[in-house]
Structure 1
Amino acid sequence: MSLLTHLLAVLFGMGSWVSINGLWVELPLLVPQIPEGWFLPSYLSVLIQMANVGPLFVTLMHRFYPGKLSETMVIYVIIALGTVASVLLGFFWKETVVVAGLHRSVALLVLTFFLAAVDCTSSVTFLPFMMQLKPEYLTTYYIGEGVSGLLPALVALVQGVGVVHCINSSSISNLTSNASSFELQARYQPANFSAEVFFFFLSAMMIVCLAAFILLNYHPAVAREIPNRRYKNGVKAKSSSCAEQRMMLDLYRSHTRRSGFGSGSYSVAQVVYIFVVLAWANALTNVVLPSVQSYSCLPYGNNIYHLSATMAAVSNPLACFIAMFLPIRYSARS
């Protein structure tokens, strides 16, 4: 295996969800300065789900117009879109527009939708591209996908977002009886660097992802890692031997009655079970837990919030790294 290909796979995977993961960890710095306040996590969850129109479009194109949509071109487009949207966020995230008599962060929400569309679409375009390489590099890609949450979390910790100090704001309520009211107010301390710089960092990560994708397409060391040399520069070879076509046809016919993916054959019930578990895990990871994390950590303070967000980001690449050396392939037989 090529160390360069592993490195490029990690850098390519880092661009998959770095934008949305960066927004989640930057929330404590954003919410005090926008009219939506702590309702923003719920808005983000809704926008991310709406952005699934991107994967739906790619899937329908492959279903009804096979061969018309180039995966390579789609990846170029979404990476460029994510870079531009991250740069624009750095300039316009605080801008508000009056909608129905209330100030709303329209620019932030619209650009967040485009970032979410980029990240959601990456799940159905980045993986097919990486599957052209050996299976070992797919695991490395997942490590990079996990690092896309870890790296923004670490940068946010260095940034010091959401650090709060409580001050005594006692006041005298009755001058005759000298009665006073005791009250503590939270004061957010300034971060080590601004949210604008953080968004420019996210755009730089997207540029790194683009450079890694270009090298994965055109570097000779990567081309040698493509099994059977059936792909060249990320595009499937136009010609293939009759023996190979006959072998693929026989393989397809042998799996018409049983679904085959991974390294074994599974029944229809097992496939349904696997996808139900995947849907439940993704619902918790991408929707339920992020939207309520700010509220669940509120009684424990911002430090606990940052630590929980960081440790959640650490768990993903750590699990993928362990899977490189301890692969587990098991399916409970009914």
Structure 2
Amino acid sequence: MALVLHILACIFGAGAWVAINGLWVELPVIVNDLPEGWYLPSYLTIIIQLANIGPLIVTLMHKFKPGWLNEVAIIYTIIVLGIVASFLLAFFWRETTWVGGELHSTGFLALTFFLSIVDCTSSVTFLPFMMKLEAQYLTSYFVGEGLSGFIPGLLSLIQGVGIVKCVNVTESDNGTQIITSSSYKTDQLETQYLPANYSVQVFLFLLCIMMAYCLIAFYLLTRFSSKQHLLQSSITLYNSSSTINSIRNPTEMELCEAKQEDTSAPTRDNLPRAEFNTQEISCGQYALIYCLIAWVNALTNGVLPSVQTYSCMPYGNLAYHLSAALGSMANPVACLIAMFLPCQSLLALVLMSTIGTGFGIYNMVSAVQSPCPMLQGSNWGIALIVISWVLFIGMLSYVKVMIGIILRSQSHSALLWCGAVVQLGSMIGALVMFPLVNIYGFFQSADLCNSQCTG
């Protein structure tokens, strides 16, 4: 039964961000058919931040009207909304409308907004719900949350997203481009994306199916949590009855049995460290924890994802795909490591965050230096950028999981505010990077087929 619950918690966690993560990995195919082109990611970033209205309302209601919102009903609502929105998106993602004299993909943007509300609100509803289950299942939830990025990435690799080829082209007298074979002398090489193995519509249907699995998993988890609550209530009632009956004088045999039960009861020394963590956290430690979770999520959800293409593409298509694929695997692997090797020392988590930030700085430096970063054109450069991205994501994912476990041992409100701070940090990171990438053009993309570096 425990294994089944671990699987259900994992599937439930995977539904948290699977829709938006899926849209991100599908962008190289989507942008070819929508009028915004490669400006679409900037629109997507703004839409996700606007969708933070969902977690803001839930957090404020929890603060000023505690107990007024039905947490389970909210989760059911947002999961069903995600299923309906992803299903409609499969049919209407190409719908366009003239807005302000320009053609915009209103179907894609409107339905993406609803999917963003689902995923953003999950941060302040899914985590607090896990308080109803034992602490061991929280790590499985985080594994599933990591898989919400890995599974769409794996589907995109099967689909063949982002695979390019260099085509020789030359210009004729009237200015048109003519594709030529490699035996002819040409003016330049042009980067072209290969057609996908299956359509965007099929990919969106797969996202809808994953959201449906999330709904089924949540239903089964609610059934189990209800039974567990009834069982605990029965045990409490039984203990109360036993206390009343114990008023009479105990017999000698009963005294011996009580002594034996007392010696076999779990103590601080024989309980696992991960399960015996009821130490109260001070206000200063709470401040440190929330600042740490805001910083980690700002880097992993806002700052560095905005520049991953600039950071990796100068080293080649292989470097980009390895960093994306292995990076998405690093998240669930870090969650599994946290399950077997937990570390709840705040000092160690701060140190690990510092090291992970160091790898993030290396990734940012390579993005700033694009299209001619350090060690370009060497195998060492490819290896270092891939390892740096994997360790950056892995180490900070481990920190996020352990902070969630620490707050799980405190209270329901601690986890709810953790989700709110996650969204706040992600929003700040995205809003800081948006003008740098999309308005001021601070980063320059690399052309895989035509070197832009001299010397």
Question: Percent of aligned pairs with the same residue?
Answer: 55
TM-score, normalised to structure 2's length? 0.62
CA-CA distance at 1:114 after TM superposition: 1.2
- Aligned match of 2:114: 114
* 8 Å Cα contact 1:159-1:193 kept in structure 2: yes
The change in CA–CA distance for 1:31 and 1:43 in structure 2 (over 3 A counts) is same
* 8 Å Cα contact 2:168-2:186 kept in structure 1: no
Number of positions where the alignment pairs a residue of Structure 1 with one of Structure 2: 301
Which of the numbers 229, 232, 243 marks the counterpart of 1:229? 232
- Aligned match of 2:87: 87
CA-CA distance at 1:39 after TM superposition: 2.0
* 8 Å Cα contact 1:52-1:121 kept in structure 2: yes
- Aligned match of 1:247: none
Question: Quick one: distance in 2 between partners of 1:3 and 1:103?
Answer: 51
Amino acid of the structure 2 residue aligned with 1:229: Q
- Aligned match of 1:76: 76
1:207 aligns with 2:206: no
The change in CA–CA distance for 1:307 and 1:160 in structure 2 (over 3 A counts) is same
Higher strand share: 1
Is the partner of 1:187 in helix, strand or coil? Answer: strand
Q: Which structure has more RCO (C-alpha within 8 Å, separation ≥ 6)?
A: 1
Q: Which runs of structure 2 are paired with 1:39-50 in the superposition (5 Å)?
A: 39-50=39-50
1:192 aligns with 2:207: no
Bigger Rg over Cα: 2
CA-CA distance at 1:32 after TM superposition: 1.9
1:216 aligns with 2:231: no
- Aligned match of 1:277: 292
The change in CA–CA distance for 1:323 and 1:305 in structure 2 (over 3 A counts) is same
- Aligned match of 1:245: none
The change in CA–CA distance for 1:47 and 1:263 in structure 2 (over 3 A counts) is farther
The change in CA–CA distance for 1:163 and 1:318 in structure 2 (over 3 A counts) is same
CA-CA distance at 1:73 after TM superposition: 0.4
Unaligned runs of 5+ in 2: 175-184, 241-276, 349-455
CA-CA distance at 1:2 after TM superposition: 1.0
Question: Quick one: distance in 1 between partners of 2:200 and 2:114?
Answer: 18
Amino acid of the structure 1 residue aligned with 2:189: L
1:289 aligns with 2:304: yes
Q: Which runs of structure 2 are paired with 1:119-134 in the superposition (5 Å)?
A: 119-134=119-134
Question: Quick one: distance in 2 between partners of 1:218 and 1:228?
Answer: 12
1:241-274 deviation digits (Å, cap 9, x = unpaired): 8xxxxxxxxxxxxxxxxxxxx6433332222122
- Aligned match of 1:258: none
Question: Quick one: distance in 2 between partners of 1:306 and 1:280?
Answer: 26
Q: Which runs of structure 2 are paired with 1:113-192 in the superposition (5 Å)?
A: 113-173=113-173, 182-192=187-197
The change in CA–CA distance for 1:230 and 1:32 in structure 2 (over 3 A counts) is farther
The change in CA–CA distance for 1:169 and 1:332 in structure 2 (over 3 A counts) is closer
- Aligned match of 1:9: 9
Is the partner of 1:158 in helix, strand or coil? Answer: helix
The change in CA–CA distance for 1:41 and 1:84 in structure 2 (over 3 A counts) is same
Question: Quick one: distance in 2 between partners of 1:320 and 1:167?
Answer: 42
Amino acid of the structure 2 residue aligned with 1:187: Q
1:190-215 deviation digits (Å, cap 9, x = unpaired): 11101110010000000000001111
CA-CA distance at 1:230 after TM superposition: 5.3
CA-CA distance at 1:305 after TM superposition: 2.9
1:260-308 deviation digits (Å, cap 9, x = unpaired): xx64333322221221111111111111222222333333444433332
Amino acid of the structure 2 residue aligned with 1:298: M
Question: Quick one: distance in 2 between partners of 1:302 and 1:223?
Answer: 50
1:169-188 deviation digits (Å, cap 9, x = unpaired): 112459xxxxx960222222
The change in CA–CA distance for 1:227 and 1:39 in structure 2 (over 3 A counts) is farther
CA-CA distance at 1:50 after TM superposition: 1.5
Which of the numbers 324, 328, 331 marks the counterpart of 2:343? 328
